[in-house]
Amino acid sequence: MNSTFPYAERYGVNRTLPDEGRARDDVLRELREIASEEDSFWETGKISGTMYCGDHDHYAFLNDVFGLFAHVNVLQRDMCPSATRFEGEIIAMTLDLLHAEAVADGTPAGLVTSGGTGSILHALLAYRDRARQERGIERPNVVKPETAHPAFEKACLLFGIESRTVPVDPVSTVVVPEVVADHVDADTVAIIGSACNYGYGTIDPIPELSELAVERGVGLHVDGCLGGWILPFGQELGYDVPVFDFRLPGVTSISADTHKYGYAFKGTSVVAFRDKAWRQAQYFMIPDWSGGKYLSPGIDGSRSGGLLASTWASLVTLGREGYLRHAEAIFRTAAAMQDAVRAHPELRIMGSPTFCFSFTSDAFSIYHVADSMRTRGWRFNGQQYPDAIHMAVTRPQTQEGVVEAFATDLDEAVRYAHEHRDDAPISGAIYGGVPGGMTPEADQFIRSIMVDLLDTQQSVPD
């Protein structure tokens, strides 16, 4: 089977619009077959991240809610004022989770975006434009750890912001505030910290970064896209999660994905601001357009009412009790899986992680472990600089028997890695190398492969 186009032979390929429409029952039958096969891949609990909820009853309920508002465009608030209710309450519940009640120097506000990248884009747009308006900064920069999500680089590229990337401590895997301070200057509009970072699941020293932000008079964005909807419950359950939210005076914005541990459908996130002036800075308005007065709260124009409604429904039906219950199971499972890793002296966990963890090896290529585990149905996320693999624990991993399977399969994978230590790992062709060590020719070659991959994903088979 062609792994890129596995359905081409079974179902054919639409290269043009069909002359006549297909029967709905036929289309539904085909799509149910595909969905069932693809769901079976992650339902085992052996897939890192991706499927944060995994509860088909919850999905079915959200589908019902989505269907009621799927045709709604939230631009048309006069026709559909429900969108204002849903969006306002999603923001309010997120602000409550992030302790916005502690803010005494502003009016907290937020924006529902299309995802983590959308929240990061809007935050940096707000920092750039407010700094331009109030400080006259024309050549803005942000200072971020190398572990920060690539969306920050995308935002800097799109908005003409200089990205100043600083290294992290190789042992703790978190940024060093003194190093950040060395890169802050009069044109810095914000510094970045993660809670937690995607790669290692470790939390940057946000309290110290907050002090630095206050001292230098710059913004501090906390990227909680991954952890924003689970770390607060970890704190409440007594896990070692440091304060990272609006209780710290230097924190001016936080991104938190509702479509991850908020268990909503893909396509929603919240960027929360310490004061509504940050949100207002990135509003878009054209009062003199011939088509009328145009305004939008962010980059997007049309947005789905179904996504707002189903996200709202996820939050209010699970409630604090539901999120606490799921968080407890996830933290407990993550700890057990990390214990299984620590049982092997050849393996080393990176830093002090939370519900998401990464591990490597000094005894052999860690990609041998990944290769062996893949034959047993496991799918990890590969990392580089240093070579490592990570597991973001979600609800599917909390199923009975998954932790035991992980420990057993990891035993076999370590044995396999020892036996093949002198061989080139299969996945080693994708990851590895030295950061910044590639020649310009090698860099261009890798980029050309990435372009081909993206082109293929938007195409039909030849």
pLDDT tens string for the chain (462 positions)? 347 899 999 999 999 999 999 999 999 999 999 999 999 999 999 999 999 999 999 999 999 999 999 999 998 888 999 999 999 999 999 999 999 999 999 999 999 999 999 999 999 999 999 999 999 999 999 999 999 999 999 999 999 999 999 999 999 999 999 999 999 999 999 999 999 999 999 999 999 999 999 999 999 999 999 999 999 999 999 999 999 999 999 999 999 999 999 999 999 999 999 999 999 999 999 999 999 999 999 999 999 999 999 999 999 999 999 999 999 999 999 999 999 999 999 999 999 999 999 999 999 999 999 999 999 999 998 899 899 999 999 999 999 999 999 999 999 999 999 999 999 998 865 555 555 556 777 778 778 888 887 778 878 788
438 secondary structure, DSSP code: S
For tokens 């076999």, name the residue. Answer: 412
Cβ density class 364-389: b for 16+ within 10 Å, e for less: bbbbbbbbbbeeeebbbbbbeebbbb
For tokens 């079974």, name the residue. Answer: 10
> What distance in Å separates the CA atoms of residue 81 and residue 75, rounded to the nearest whole number?
10
Q: Given phi > 0 = left and psi -120 to 50 = alpha, else beta, which region is 263?
A: left
Phi, psi for 118 (deg, rounded to 5): -60, -40
> What distance in Å separates the CA atoms of residue 54 and residue 176, rounded to the nearest whole number?
36
Phi, psi for 314 (deg, rounded to 5): -60, -45
- Return the closest-CA partner of residue 120 out of 367, 372, 293, 298: 298
Spell out the domains of the chain, with CATH numbers in brackets: 82-312 (3.40.640.10)
Global confidence as pTM: 0.94
Q: Is the torsion defined by CA of 43, 48, 53, 59 positive or negative?
A: negative
Residues 118, 147 contacting (CB under 8 angstroms): no
> What distance in Å separates the CA atoms of residue 439 and residue 436, rounded to the nearest whole number?
8
